[in-house]
Amino acid sequence: MPPPPVAWTPVALAADLQPGAAAGVVVDGAEVAIWRDTAGTPHAWEDRCPHRGMKLSFGFVRGERLACLYHGWEYDGGGQCRYIPAHPDLDVPASICVNRYSAADAAGLLWVASGTGSGDLPDPGDPLSPLRSLFIDAPLGEVLNRLAADGLPGLGPVVESAEDGPLLNFDQAGHRFVVGRHPTGPSGTALHILLKGEVSAEARAAMIPATAELRRLAEAGR
């Protein structure tokens, strides 16, 4: 399986991955397990247990370790297997470890990269309010062109839009939208949408139908 890109890619809203939780994401075809230990530190690993190939994103966080759902093998934050329940007295060899990637929190998003990551992580300065992640069966380029030109359907004209590395910013309906661009594959896109400033839960909820309409139109190619 290919690793994720060397450049930092936003893969989730930071608020959607709580401490003690694990989830699976796909980054340019690479399957990645993201998880936070109970202290909140993010981790990104190849989504495959070295034992039997089970997806580690189905596993459970146990303190500072991630335990595979299948046979309970536990891996520490460095990806090293530390405990095999079927052989509790075994001194686990160092060769039993998970392929790790870089993970970081920035701009209300969780970012993943191979190696140490290339490029700077964005620092928007102002607080950001998470809106939602949106998964679309359409190529990233097509979705971004549509979003930059028309914004979210039904919310009025886009006043201004600009790309900022892996982020797309645009103004619409009196709000500044910040969108993390996440290619899941050649024909798949994930958008992680935030709003600049403190935006009430009611106002954010009112925008959700527009995001669903964006997905419908993008997948229909209209």
Partner 1 sequence: MRSIVSLEFVGRFDPQSFAAFAAHRAERLSLDHLVVSGAQERTVIRLEGPDPLIDAFEMALSLGPADCLVRDVRRLENGAQS
To partner 1, the closest distance from the beta carbon of 22 in angstroms equals: 22
Of 51 and 132, CB closest to partner 1: 51
To partner 1, the closest distance from the beta carbon of 60 in angstroms equals: 21
Of 71 and 216, CB closest to partner 1: 71
CA distance 203 to 130: 12
Q: Which neighbouring-strand residues pair with 182?
A: 190
Task: Specify whether the CB–CB gap between 26 and 15 falls below 8 A.
Answer: no
Instruction: Specify the amino acid at residue 140.
Output: L
To partner 1, the closest distance from the beta carbon of 110 in angstroms equals: 29
Provide the binding-site residues for partner 1, judged by CB under 8 A. Answer: 50-52, 84, 86-87, 90-91, 93-96
Of 86 and 220, CB closest to partner 1: 86
- Region of residue 209 (phi > 0: left; psi between -120 and 50: alpha; otherwise: beta): alpha
Of 99 and 169, CB closest to partner 1: 99
To partner 1, the closest distance from the beta carbon of 34 in angstroms equals: 23
Backbone angles phi, psi at 218, to 5 degrees: -65, -40
Task: Specify whether the CB–CB gap between 7 and 166 falls below 8 A.
Answer: yes
